[in-house]
Amino acid sequence: MLTEKVTELKKKILEMAALVEKMVAYSFEGIETGNNKYNEVMEYEQRVNRLEMEIEDDCIVLMARHHPEAKDLRIILMIYKINNDLERLGDQAVNIAESVNIVAGNPHNADIPELSSMMDVTLKMLHQSIAAYTNEDVENARLVCRQDEIVDSYNRRITNQLIVLIKENPLQIEYYLHLLRITKNLERIGDLSTNIGENTVYLVQGRVIKHQLENTDREN
C-alpha cells in the first residue's frame, strides 16, 4: 500500500524536477541568445508551485496515515526537502529570467566571459544532482557537492570583475547590477543542487554530509 503511494510520490517529484530543470535552462537561454523565454518560465513556475503544494500535502498525509519506517521514511523526508529545494530553484530561474529581460542581447555581456562557463557548470550540477537523486547514485551525488566550490569561486571572481566594471562604467550600473543578480542566483542554484546531492546521500546511505560533518567524522 505504502510502496505504491511512495512510487506515485516519486513520480511527482521527478515531474517537478524535470520542470525546474527546464525552467533554469530556459532562463539561461536568454542571456546567450537574447531570445528570452520569460513567459515559458512563468508558466512553468505556476505548475511547479502547484506541484510543490501537492507533494508537501502528500508527504504529510503519508506520514500521518502510514507511519513510514526506515527507507520509506527517508524517501518521504527527502522528497519533502527536495520538494522545497526544487521550488526555490524555480524561484531562482524566475529571478534570472526577470533580469535577462533587461540584459538580453546586450553587447556588454562579452565583458564577463566567465558568466557562460558558470552557467554551464551550474546547469550541469543541477542536472547531475537530479540524475543522482533519480538513480540514487551516491557517487555522482558526492561529485555534485564537490563542484559547489567551483561555482563559489566563479561567483567571487565575477563579482569582483563586476565591481571593477561598475567603477569604470558607472552609466551601465543598472545593467551590471542585473548581471550581479544573475550571478548571485547562479550561485544559489549551485547551493540548492548541492542540497539535493546531500539529500540523495542521506536517502541512500542514511548519512548526513552537510557542513563538512563527514570530514570531521573521518578525522576523528
Partner 1 sequence: MVTNQIQTLKLNLWFGNNHVLHDVSMGVTEKKITAMIGPSGCGKSTLLRTFNRMNDLIDETRISGKVLLDGEDIYRSKADVTNLRTRVGMVFQKPNPFPKSIFNNVAFGMAVQGKFNRSQIEDRVEKSLRDAWLWDEVKDRLNESAMSLSGGQQQRLCIARALANNPEVLLLDEPTSALDPQSTSKIEELCLELKNMVTILIVTHNIAQAGRISDYIAFMYLGELVEFGETNKVFTVPQDKRTEAYLTGVFG
Task: Tell me which residues touch partner 1 (CB under 8 A).
Answer: 1-2, 57, 60-61, 64-67
- The answer to whether 114 and 154 have CB atoms below 8 angstroms apart is yes
Kindly tell me which of 2 and 42 has the beta carbon lying closer to partner 1: 2
Q: Of 176, 179, 188, which is closest to residue 151 (Cα–Cα)?
A: 188
Rg of the chain over Cα atoms, rounded to whole angstroms, equals 19
CA within 13 Å, CB half, 172 = 18
User: What is the smallest separation between the CB atom of 147 and partner 1, expressed in angstroms?
Assistant: 38
Kindly tell me which of 1 and 110 has the beta carbon lying closer to partner 1: 1
Kindly tell me which of 3 and 220 has the beta carbon lying closer to partner 1: 3
Kindly tell me which of 67 and 207 has the beta carbon lying closer to partner 1: 67
56-85 burial code (b ≥16 CB/10 A, e <16): eebbeebeeeeebeeebebbbbbbbbbbbb
User: What is the smallest separation between the CB atom of 183 and partner 1, expressed in angstroms?
Assistant: 41
User: What is the smallest separation between the CB atom of 17 and partner 1, expressed in angstroms?
Assistant: 25
Q: Of 52, 49, 60, which is closest to residue 5 (Cα–Cα)?
A: 60
User: What is the smallest separation between the CB atom of 59 and partner 1, expressed in angstroms?
Assistant: 11
- The answer to whether 45 and 89 have CB atoms below 8 angstroms apart is no
Q: Of 206, 203, 189, 91, which is closest to residue 144 (Cα–Cα)?
A: 189
Kindly tell me which of 52 and 191 has the beta carbon lying closer to partner 1: 52
Spatial separation of the C-alpha atoms in residues 157 and 153, rounded to whole Å:
6
User: What is the smallest separation between the CB atom of 51 and partner 1, expressed in angstroms?
Assistant: 18
User: What is the smallest separation between the CB atom of 10 and partner 1, expressed in angstroms?
Assistant: 19
Kindly tell me which of 60 and 164 has the beta carbon lying closer to partner 1: 60
